[in-house]
């Protein structure tokens, strides 16, 4: 298959990078993390409503997100009709080519995904809880399908079952969407989503930080650091810029 005929997911796999990690949260808290291999920033209307109370108008808040990184910024929008969703999406997609439009799953969103796909605007479909929803929005043109994970836990559900189902259903699609697992609130669910084949995960920066922790990592890091410091104290690291804390 010619590279130009490949879907977005197939093209991304040619680059040789693993699953994407998207961060959510306050722009000032996200800024220090953006150079650590993060794919981009993802918002939802709960976070946006909290942030506009702190930073002002939504348009200005989105500009603030754009200012802290040169990576994609996903802006969640909402509305009562397909036409409204398209009109609102246009406001933000016109702001920057780096903006991805995020729309909740629903009948009205299908036409919005189709139109935005025609315009070449990348999109997220959020609040996806079933395989039938995933199939419908993917066929409509959504670029990313977001299976929701942790909300299933309180009702006894498997948080990443839908991730596995989407991986199976979309296998072989030339133009398949990214499977981006969302509403992940713990390192354990992040692990399960990545294990089950998600193309990416959306997490708060606090969960990202927790993902780097493990008791054995702490134990072995201390062992190696003790050895390093012993070499330094013995004068065996001359010419090496050791900074003793």
| pLDDT greater at residue 138 or residue 8 | 138
Euclidean distance between CA atoms 140 and 145, whole angstroms: 11
Q: What is the pLDDT of residue 240?
A: 95
Which CATH number is associated with domain 3-213? 3.20.20.70
Instruction: Give the whole-angstrom CA distance, residue 220 versus residue 237.
Output: 21
CA distance 66 to 72: 8
- Straight-line distance from the first to the last Cα atom of the chain, in angstroms, rounded to the nearest whole number: 55
Distance CA 85, CA 114 (A): 12
Closest CA to 26 of 5, 48, 4: 48
- Residue-wise pLDDT tens digits, 94-119: 999 999 999 999 999 999 999 999 99
Residue 11 binned pLDDT confidence (cut-offs 50, 70, 90)? low
CB burial readout 94-117, b (16+ within 10 A) else e: eeeebbbbbbbbbebbbbbbbbbb
For residues 66 and 49, what is the distance between their CA atoms, to the nearest angstrom? 17
Of all residues in the chain, the percent with pLDDT exceeding 90 is 90
Of the ranges 4-13, 20-29, 118-127, 134-143, which one carries the lowest mean pLDDT score? 4-13
What is the pLDDT confidence band of residue 16, given thresholds at 50, 70 and 90?
low
Residues 141, 109 contacting (CB under 8 angstroms): no
State yes or no: pLDDT of 244 exceeds 60.
Answer: yes
Rounded CA-CA distance 90/78 in Å is 12
pLDDT digits (tens, 9 = 90+) for 167-187: 999 998 888 999 999 999 999
Whole-angstrom distance, CA of residue 88 vs CA of residue 56: 18
What is the per-residue pLDDT for 48? Answer: 98
Mean of pLDDT over the chain:
93
Indicate the pTM of the whole model: 0.90
Q: What is the pLDDT of residues 45-63, one digit of tens each?
A: 999 999 999 999 999 999 9
- Tell me which H or E stretch contains 140: helix 131-140
The residue behind tokens 């992040």 is 190
Residue 190 corresponds to which tokens in the numbers above?
Answer: 């992040």
Residue 218 to residue 213: CA distance in whole angstroms? 7
- More confidently predicted of 16 and 219: 219
User: For 123-138, how does the pLDDT look when each residue is reduced to its tens digit (9 = 90+)?
Assistant: 999 999 999 999 999 9
Q: What DSSP letter does each residue of 219-230 carry, written as one string?
A: HHHHHHHHHHHH
Q: What is the pLDDT of residues 189-214, one digit of tens each?
A: 999 999 999 999 999 999 999 999 99
Listed by start position, the domains of the chain span 3-213, 214-245
């Amino acid at each position: 298959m010619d590279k130009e005929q490949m879907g977005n997911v197939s093209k991304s796999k040619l680059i040789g990078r693993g699953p994407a990690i998207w961060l959510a949260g306050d722009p000032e808290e996200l800024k220090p993390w953006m150079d650590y291999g993060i794919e981009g920033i993802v918002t939802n209307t709960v976070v946006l409503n909290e942030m506009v109370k702190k930073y002002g108008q939504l348009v200005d808040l989105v500009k603030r997100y754009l200012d802290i990184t040169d990576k994609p910024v996903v802006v969640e929008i909402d509305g009562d009709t397909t036409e409204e969703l398209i009109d609102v999406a246009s406001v933000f997609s016109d702001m920057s080519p780096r903006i991805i439009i995020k729309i909740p799953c629903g009948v009205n969103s299908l036409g919005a995904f189709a139109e935005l796909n025609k315009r070449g605007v990348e999109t997220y479909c959020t609040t996806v809880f079933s395989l039938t929803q995933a199939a419908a929005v993917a066929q409509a043109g959504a670029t990313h399908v977001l299976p929701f994970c942790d909300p299933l836990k309180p009702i006894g559900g498997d948080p990443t079952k839908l991730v596995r189902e989407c991986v199976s259903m979309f296998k072989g699609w030339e133009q398949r969407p990214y499977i981006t697992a969302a509403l992940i609130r713990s390192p354990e669910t992040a692990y399960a989503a990545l294990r089950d084949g998600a193309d990416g995960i959306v997490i708060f920066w606090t969960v990202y930080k927790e993902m780097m922790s493990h008791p054995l990592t702490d134990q072995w890091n201390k062992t190696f650091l003790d050895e390093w410091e012993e070499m330094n104290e013995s004068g065996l690291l001359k010419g090496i810029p050791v900074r003793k804390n």
